[in-house]
Amino acid sequence: MPLRLGVNLDHAATLRQARYARDAQSSLAEPDPVEAALIAEKAGADGITAHLREDRRHMQDRDIYRLKESLQTKLNLEMGNAPEIVAIALQVKAHDACLVPENRREITTEGGLDCLTHRAALESTIGKLHAVGTVVSLFIDPDPEQICAAADLKAAYIELHTGAFANATGRARQHELQRLITGAQQAHDLGLRINAGHGLNYENVSELFTVPHLVELNIGHAIISRALFTGLASAVKEMKTLCQGYPL
């Protein structure tokens, strides 16, 4: 199966909130992340990722419902394991949900879930999401114990956190890449499917192609940044073309 591309449009919503934080539902509020999603789909995105954070710094509740209603591909809802967000996820019934750690002081998600410490809470939420037909992924570091815990929790997917790889240089970068390779193989052997994301861009994504068994990459900031200069459709098409270089 060709490597799929999920386009994260959180930062389209970030731009809207910079001007319309108090009136995001206004007909004047732009850019509309749903319109951006439809452009991304038409350009070849295999799915749209949106993170509904507790502080609502970018995506708003209404955005998530509208995305679910409008998309022809699939909605991947990134979410912290907070009761309010879980309740919305159970109403929306997104095709996919990726459970991520969340810290209100962070600029973006920093590091993977601790599936060992929070096992009981995660198990409860995963069961609820499964019951409404949502496919569950856990955003984790390529740590052997976390991968085993994800398998024990019966998640369908893990999403390997690629931030340490993306931020490293030299020998440290090779070390982080090897961790991803080893983690992906372990996850595959345990029956998990493997996505990856965080910090991926047009320069480093091909380096990730030595990681086996990848199903989908979720990429946002780099695509939105490129779109400022080339337009969103061109930015998505370019990344989609790069993804086609992944060995089958």
Torsion angle of C-alpha atoms 164, 166, 172, 178, degrees rounded to 10 = 80
Active site residues: 51, 78, 198
Q: Which stretches of the chain are assigned E, i.e. beta strand?
A: 4-8, 47-51, 75-79, 96-99, 135-140, 157-161, 193-197, 214-219
- What is the Cα–Cα distance from 30 to 20, expressed in whole angstroms? 8
- CA-angle at 21, arms to 20 and 24, nearest 5°: 65
- What is the Cα–Cα distance from 5 to 10, expressed in whole angstroms? 15
> Which tokens is 125 given?
């939420």
Query: What is the three-class DSSP state of 13?
Result: helix
